Amino acid sequence: MKTVQQQLTQFLAHITQVPPLDVALSDASGCILAADIVATSPIPPMALAACDGYAVRAKDVDGAHQGAPAVLPVAHLVTSALDEPFRLVEFQAIKVSSGVALPIGADAVIPLADTDRGAAKVSILRDARPGWNVLPQGADMQQGDTALHAGTRLGARQLALAAGLGFQRIKVHPRPRVVIVPVGDELIPPGSPRRGIYDSNGPALRTAINDVGAVAIQVAPLPDAPAQLSEAIEDQLVRADLIVTTGGLSEGENDTLKDVLLHLGDVRFDHVAMQPGRNQGFGLLTVQGFDEKDTPTIPVYALPGNPAAAHVAFEVFVRPALRAMAGYTELYRPALSATTTTSWRSPVGVRQFIPAQVTGGPDGGYHVTPVGDPEHLENLTLSLVASANALAVVPEDSTLVTTGQSLPCLILED
């Protein structure tokens, strides 16, 4: 029997990052940046007015105040950031809008509120110092500065920065495409009029995969018939970066998934020392139709069919693999320590992942309560799993969890 760590390490060894692509900014949302973005010019490219007001030389309004304002003629009005900067001569002012180029020779901007808002001439009601209300050239970034580092997840703020630097296209790791294959003669799609068991793993995995930032492609439940199952999986290889199956791992004569996957590639199936989710498999499937030396392979992970077990195994093994494929450097869920509110016995040599509710906070401490009976995880229902916000982890060397004991918990909700 393999340990959880062995299973995870060996599966991650089969995983490679999705090759980088040069994409338009509109297609980069949620992706991981594959190459540094470097500023090609100073930002801003020139000194700018930081507010609406009057551009002046600070020494021309030295000592100005309410009782003795400095009165200056207004030489120009600049409202467009596209205008070339005007030149300011001494003892004059130029009325400017926020964001326009600072006139040549000016070193301060007097806000409108500190003037009489004059058009031909303006009364300045306060003095100023050089640099007041001025955004200097390169204040945000100098030419050659790294604006965004490779490995950064691209959200609204990061894409705004890239756009502000003038980049129309950037290099990213595309979101991995994951094909979900539920297996079992008894499964039917939700809403189907046929008799059977509604497939809950397909929709659950589709959402979980999308939440990771990957692209989920869910196929309808497939029967155990070997020829039909093999053909359907083989057809999906050309559009997948990863295949995830659920079900079909039992020892019954109608459970054919193992034989099908072994026929399609190099796949191994093991008992993993964990609860729930003992039966699992992974490997590489071969894409047909290529020269032998150039034949591509697609990783596959076979999850259990039990919904609670499939959920746990996805979190422990598939989710970190998807983050690795997408270019993330941090692969795992955030974790915290919480004290248990109840006690239970845990099997020796097995790592338990208990769906649980974590409550509390950093000030008063966190508490963890299993959502079902930890001694009978095989009885976990969908309603119980749906109420969990964490997985409490019981290590392999622990056989008794006592009330008040501290356990590490993987937090499932962001």
Pick the CATH number of 48-135 from 3.40.50.800, 3.60.21.10, 2.170.190.11, 3.40.50.150: 2.170.190.11
pLDDT of residue 192: 87
Ramachandran angles phi, psi of 407, nearest 5° = -125, 145
pLDDT of residue 253: 66
SS3 312: helix
Closest CA to 240 of 183, 298, 296: 298
pLDDT of residue 103: 95
CATH code, 335-411: 2.40.340.10
Helix pair 201-212, 319-326: axis angle to 10 deg: 40
List C-alpha distances in Å: 299 to 293, 296, 338, 387.
Answer: 18, 10, 35, 31
List C-alpha distances in Å: 38 to 65, 73, 158.
Answer: 45, 43, 13
CA distance 148 to 38: 7
pLDDT by residue for the chain (414 residues), tens digit each?
899 999 999 999 999 999 999 999 999 998 999 999 999 999 888 999 999 999 999 999 999 999 999 999 999 999 887 777 889 999 999 999 999 999 999 999 999 999 999 999 999 999 999 999 999 999 989 999 999 999 999 999 999 999 989 999 999 999 999 999 999 999 998 988 989 999 999 999 999 999 998 999 999 999 989 999 999 999 999 999 999 999 988 876 667 899 999 999 999 999 999 999 999 999 999 987 666 666 789 999 999 999 999 999 999 999 999 999 999 989 999 999 999 999 999 999 999 999 999 999 988 899 999 998 999 988 888 888 899 999 999 999 999 999 999 999 999 976
pLDDT of residue 252: 66
Which residue type occupies 7? Q
Which residue type occupies 290? F
pLDDT of residue 248: 87
SS3 90: coil
pLDDT of residue 290: 63
Domain 21-43+140-173 fold is Molybdopterin biosynthesis moea protein, domain 2 (3.90.105)
- 151-183 pLDDT per residue, tens: 999 999 999 999 989 999 999 999 999 999 999
CA distance 319 to 340: 26
List C-alpha distances in Å: 210 to 83, 203, 240, 350.
Answer: 46, 11, 14, 30
Q: Partners of 357 in the beta sheet? A: 369
pLDDT of residue 289: 64
Cis peptide before 69 (omega within 30 of 0): no
Residue 233 structure tokens: 């999986």
User: How many other CB atoms are found less than 10 A from the CB of residue 215?
Assistant: 18
Which DSSP helix (H) or strand (E) runs through 23?
A: strand 21-24
- 328-384 pLDDT per residue, tens: 989 999 999 999 999 999 999 999 999 999 999 988 899 999 998 999 988 888 888
List C-alpha distances in Å: 405 to 136, 362, 368, 401, 402.
Answer: 57, 17, 10, 7, 5
pLDDT of residue 53: 96
Closest CA to 222 of 186, 194, 193: 186
Residue 84 structure tokens: 């070339």
pLDDT of residue 14: 93
CA distance 172 to 17: 11
Superfamily covering domain 4-18+175-326: MoaB/Mog-like domain (3.40.980.10)
pLDDT of residue 294: 66
In the chain, domain spans: 4-18+175-326, 21-43+140-173, 48-135, 335-411
